[in-house]
Amino acid sequence: MRFFHIADLHLGKYLKDSSLIEDQTDWVEKFLGECGIGEAGAGKEKPDAVAIAGDVFDSQDPPSEARMLLDRLITQLSKNGIAVLMIAGNHDIGGSIESARNFETHHELLALNNIHIAAVTNKVIKNIIVNGVCFWLLPYTDRIRIADAMGVESFADDTEAVKALLDAQEIDHSICNVILSHQNVVHNGKTVEPGGSESRSTGDRIGGVSPLEDSVFSGFDYVALGHIHSGMPVGGEDSVIKYAGTPLCYHLDETKYKKNKGYIEVVVEGKRIISKDHKHIEPLRDIEYPTIKANESVIDKIQDVPDGAYVGLKFVDEVASEELIKNARKNLEDRGCIWLGITRPQSKRTNNSKTEDVKQIEGESISDTFIYFYTQQNKGKGPKDEVKEILKFIDDLNPESITADSLDKSKPNYTREYADKIINELMRIIGG
């Protein structure tokens, strides 16, 4: 039995001001070719199934082009006898139960065509057997959702909650069991190196998702993960717990994982995982960030950038003149490249005393600190009024001012769900 594992498509995503829908369409067509579909798939063996481990869309309300692209992907797989197993990620549903239900719209009808979707946390995890392998569909979840589903008061953390949920399932261990999950999975507290698109939240949360110990999946033969964009195994190279990563580079830091941008081919024999290899799919365009040091020629550094690439320039010592940057941008755009701007060296406070500098920062509000650095980076020009309003709103969100008495105890999940919705929308905006 053979299946492909993909995740974090983020259909409808933008890179700066550029829509990636053309690049994503190209990737989907090439992936369908890898599945033995169409002219590009001539002579290639079809997989038995495709497992899609969440963050299918980049937002809860994706553009129509993104919806149509997903429709094409799963329809073509279904028409060609390939089972589709898909779960929702945090970008797909956020904190909204209604978004989760919408994600599963017409799920019964889809199941008749061998398309299986899970977005809502239930006491019994949806599971489907494909050619002797049982696939368990566990969408993005947390201890609040699991407590609701299991009818218990609460759990200490997500690890305890997921373990309780999995322990409650009736699993036939005589056959191979594969689980799809969209979480921040860690090994002995150590997280996999993120790809760059996932913003690190407060404490140990990544992309707004709390850590989950990999030990909870000990009863499964393969764990098809989504969420971390780098596309790495959890707990060592031989681990059967793997992130598929994003299909394309969605951030500067992800360029070092270019060869992980594709899919994982998993081959099963009986209960045994024979192989789990990452297969690369060449992108329509690449992201390039040439690093430019002091006294290096900007024009010389961009000569190796392939035509048509997304390009930004990273200055590590000092920034070139506006005229040189303008010429570099024209050179790149004449070659069909998409300009992403420049990254400047880290600003330094002009205060002579480092101690005074630290004290000054510590005494400022979030908005004051942001406005200061923004103005320094933009030659004395401050942020727009709308940005200042958002910053003021953030300043007013003082956690210390929230008391237990201010929470609506009659609706124990409302506050958490509302907060999750805000967090996930902010993470979407900033690319997390």
User: For 145-180, how does the pLDDT look when each residue is reduced to its tens digit (9 = 90+)?
Assistant: 999 999 999 999 999 999 999 999 999 999 999 999
Pick left, alpha or beta for residue 43 (phi over 0 → left; psi -120 to 50 → alpha; otherwise beta): left
Distance between start and end Cα atoms, the chain: 34
Domain boundary among 343, 358, 389: 343
Q: Using alpha carbons only, give the angle 350, 354, 356 rounded to the nearest 5 degrees.
A: 85
CA geometry: angle at 218 spanning 181 and 104, to 5°?
20
CATH number for the domain spanning 174: value is 3.60.21.10
CB-based contacts of 322: which residues, under 8 Å, 6+ apart? none
70 in the same domain as 141 = yes
Q: With bands split at pLDDT 50, 70 and 90, how would you rate the model's confidence at 272? A: very high
Give whichever of 40-44, 188-192, 318-322 has the largest mean pLDDT: 40-44
Q: pLDDT value at position 256?
A: 79
pLDDT at 406: 46
Handedness of CA 233, 234, 239, 243 (dihedral sign): negative
| Rounded Cα distance, 283 and 340, in Å | 18
The winner for highest mean pLDDT among 160-174, 251-265, 289-303, 328-342 is 160-174
Percent of the chain whose predicted confidence (pLDDT) is above 90: 55
Q: How far apart are CA 320 and CA 394, in angstroms?
A: 34
Q: How long, in residues, is the chain?
A: 432
Q: Is residue 397 part of a domain?
A: no
Is residue 212 in a domain? Answer: yes
Residue 22: the pLDDT is 96
4 Cβ neighbours under 8 A, 6+ residues apart: 34, 35, 47, 49, 50, 51, 263, 264, 265, 266
212 and 295 assigned to the same domain: no
Q: Are residues 148 and 199 in the same domain?
A: yes
> Is residue 411 scored above 70 in pLDDT?
no
Q: Please report whether residue 315 resides in a domain.
A: yes
User: Residue 52 belongs to what domain range?
Assistant: 2-280
Domain end position, chosen among 343, 365, 390: 343
Pairwise CA distance, residues 110 & 74, whole Å:
10
**DSSP secondary structure code for residue 117 in this structure:** E
Say which amino acid occupies 210. Answer: S
Q: Is 149 helix (H, G, I), strand (E, B) or coil?
A: helix
Q: Would residue 421 count as lying in a domain?
A: no
Render pLDDT for 214-261 as a digit per residue (tens, 0 to 9): 999 999 999 999 999 988 999 989 999 999 999 999 887 787 788 889
Q: Quick one: average pLDDT of 277-287?
A: 93
pLDDT in tens, 389-410: 566 556 555 444 444 444 454 5
In which band, very low, low, confident or very high, does the pLDDT at 191 lie, cut at 50, 70 and 90? confident
Is the same domain home to 247 and 335? Answer: no
Least Cα distance to 195 among 159, 247, 235 occurs for 247
H helices present in 240-353, as ranges: 298-301, 322-334
Q: How far apart are CA 296 and CA 283, in angstroms?
A: 29
Domain count, the chain: 2
Q: Which two tokens stand for residue 134?
A: 């049982």
Both 298 and 212 in a single domain?
Answer: no
Q: How confident is the model at residue 213 (pLDDT cuts 50, 70, 90)?
A: very high
User: pLDDT tens, 121-137?
Assistant: 999 999 999 999 999 99
